[in-house]
Amino acid sequence: MLQGAGVVSLSGISTGAYATGIEPFRQVVTRYAIRPNPAAPWPAGLRLRIAVLTDIHACDPWMSLERIAGIVAATNALQADLVVLVGDFMVGQRYVTRIIPAAEWAPVLGGLAAPLGVHAVLGNHDWWEDPDALRRGGGPTASGTELTRNGIRVLSNEAVPLATRAGPVWLAGLEDQLALLPVRRRTGRGRLGLHDLAATLKAVPDGAPMILLAHEPDIFAQVPARVALTLSGHTHGGQVRLFGWSPVVPSRYPGRYAYGHVRERSDLVISGGLGLSIAPIRLGVPPEIVVVELGAEAVA
């Protein structure tokens, strides 16, 4: 019995050491090949390679400036047509040795490059860690200001056309769905988020191909079939994922929008992200750069 207990104890210690000391610093590239739903307009023959970065949570020692620079280099090496950043650049936990301010991490991300540009939306922690923006109940935020200053277009309930060889493809970006949650908890009133899906979609001409960026995936339950692809983060894949199951998922639909490719009326990809939130642990869901080949033959 003592020998068995010892084995179990050592196993638990080794797993914990891996989950805090190794997996959070790993980095993988996860690829999806998606043919848009027939209900979504998409130019015949057009194939876009999209690199997706999300949930960086800049801080020492978990996501240092040097590590962010390595992510930028790895992303550029993928030669994507488009690079998108889907929010949560700011730290999301207390177990850090230094919070890295936006004025330091944004210039590093400014090294990202792609023919169709580099675009971003904000996440909940970009609001929650910005007391001035919370007090105002609106922007500008430190994250948004510094990203813009370093050449990255930040979309807030708006859309822009991308000039592809097959004509314009619209990129729409939704403002965060939980932006004002700390204020609401404190006062008991007011809005939860600053998102406006109807206004965001209205900015795209009828019948035009469209990609949507939304930090939290829950909005996908309301996304119409005309959107070819929605890209999200936020969940970190549960940050602990065992045999395809995550015990804790920050979503109203934890069994529905936890991680990976989801097809309903249209297509959603939820990235497991790169950094850490709440606790410094990752197990079964290593930090990832996501690459989506949109317009490609779907993977069986």
107-151 pLDDT, tens digit each: 999 999 999 999 999 999 999 999 999 999 999 999 999 999 999
Our count of domains for the chain comes to: 1
pTM score of the predicted model:
0.93
| Over residues 3-12, mean pLDDT | 38
Question: Phi and psi dihedrals of 294, rounded to 5?
Answer: -95, 125
CA atoms of 165 and 18, how far apart (whole Å): 46
Whole domain around residue 284: which residue ranges? 27-294
Neighbours of 137 (CB within 10 A): 13
> Residue 1 domain-assigned?
no
Q: Say whether 110 sits in a helix, a strand or coil.
A: coil
Backbone phi and psi for residue 113, each to the nearest 5 degrees, phi listed first:
-150, 145
Angle at 41 between CA 37 and CA 42, to 5 degrees: 85
Domain assignment present for residue 86? The answer is yes
- Asked if omega into 205 is within 30° of 0 (cis), the reply is no
Q: Please check whether residue 4 lies inside any domain of the structure.
A: no
Q: Is residue 22 part of a domain?
A: no
Residue 285: give its domain's CATH number. 3.60.21
Distances from the Cα of 168 to the Cαs of 159, 243, 269, in angstroms? 12, 41, 22
Dihedral over Cα of 250, 251, 255, 259: its sign: negative
CA angle 23, 13, 272 (to 5 degrees): 25
> Residue 17: its pLDDT value, please?
82
12 domain-assigned? no
Q: For residue 20, is it within any domain?
A: no
Rounded average pLDDT over 216-238: 97
What length does the chain have? 300
11 within domain boundaries: no
160: Cα separation from own chain's centroid: 19
Q: What three-state secondary structure class fits 260?
A: strand
Identify the pLDDT of residue 210: 98
Does the residue 8 lie in any domain?
no
